Amino acid sequence: MPLIEYLPDQMWLQEYPIHYAGCDFNARMSVIRVTDTELLLHSPCEIDPETKEAISALGKVAYIVAPGSYHYFHIASAQAAFSDAETYICPGIERKLPDLDFDWFLGDRPPKAWAGILDQVLVRGNKHIWEVAFYHRSSRTLLLVDLIENLTDQTPNVNLLLKLWWKAIFRMWDNPKPAPEYQMGWQDKTAANRSLRKILEWDFDKIIMSHGDLIEVNAKERVLEAWAKPLSATE
């Protein structure tokens, strides 16, 4: 699938197919300009020669970001394609990939490399899955991987098994919600509440997520509905 410009000269998106637990669906990589010449890869896909050429035409890849517990599968491919880039990972990935070569952990504060362009929050409180949410300031865009999934009848490349699970079991077909791992794993709802409320302080009006259709209308309202369970916790 081709790299598509989403925000003129600021952000590009590329969807790619994945197969997980018997289910077929798409994931999404974001390419973000952080300086006039430097780019950040968020949740990269496999970097084949065509994709490398398309990205390289935009600038130099300086940063590779693995933002969530299940969004690291193509980090090695991105590192091989862009060997000078620094790699940042969500905490916990190092336990799944003990041989992974990386430079920094992601946390609640953006590094100097993209401070002022992107804000970030490490979402805590779940026993199965962690991720770092990002906010692209100039476009008021929230970037998530699994904290919201938005699969609908318009979503391409979804097989019958996934559709059955999302409709019959998790009630999240055409009903944006966190990934099932989130729904089954809220362990420390107070910690989750704090993290999610930090995200809600951002003035976002659209959401780019890894799985499903982009949300470009009533974004904050959709998030409040999707996160109602962990947000119900009190200090």
Domain around 62: 4-229
Here the CATH number for the domain that contains residue 49 is 3.60.15.10
- Establish if 155 belongs to a structural domain: yes
In 34-159, DSSP assigns E strands to 38-42, 60-66, 86-89, 104-105, 118-123, 131-136, 141-143
Whole-number Å distance between alpha carbons of 81 and 128: 30
CB atoms within 10 A of CB 156: 10
- Tokens (6 digits) for 86: 């620094």
**Domain assignment of residue 42, yes or no:** yes
Domain contains 234: no
Going by C-beta distance under 8 Å and a sequence separation of 6 or more, which residues neighbour residue 235? 190, 193
In terms of Cα–Cα distance, which of 64, 32, 33 is closest to 46?
A: 64
Looking at the 3D structure of the chain, how many domains does it have?
1
- Asked if residue 50 belongs to a domain, the reply is yes
The confidence score (pLDDT) of residue 234 equals 60
Gap between the Cα atoms of 45 and 154, Å rounded: 22
Write out the chain's pLDDT in tens, 235 residues: 799 999 999 999 999 988 777 777 799 999 999 999 999 999 999 999 999 999 999 999 999 999 999 899 999 999 999 999 999 999 999 999 999 999 999 999 999 999 999 999 999 999 999 999 999 999 999 999 999 999 888 887 787 777 777 787 878 888 999 988 898 889 998 999 999 999 999 999 999 999 999 999 999 999 999 999 889 876 5
Locus of tokens 């969807």: 15
The packing angle between helices 219-226 and 189-200, to 10°, is 180
pLDDT at 121: 98
pTM: 0.94
Q: What is the pLDDT of residue 199?
A: 98
**Could you tell me if residue 192 is inside a domain?**
yes
- Strands 86-89 and 60-66, by their bridges, are parallel
The predicted structure's pLDDT at residue 10 = 98
CB 69 within 8 A of CB 144: no
Question: Distance between CA 208 and CA 214 in Å, rounded?
Answer: 5
Q: Does residue 235 form part of some domain?
A: no
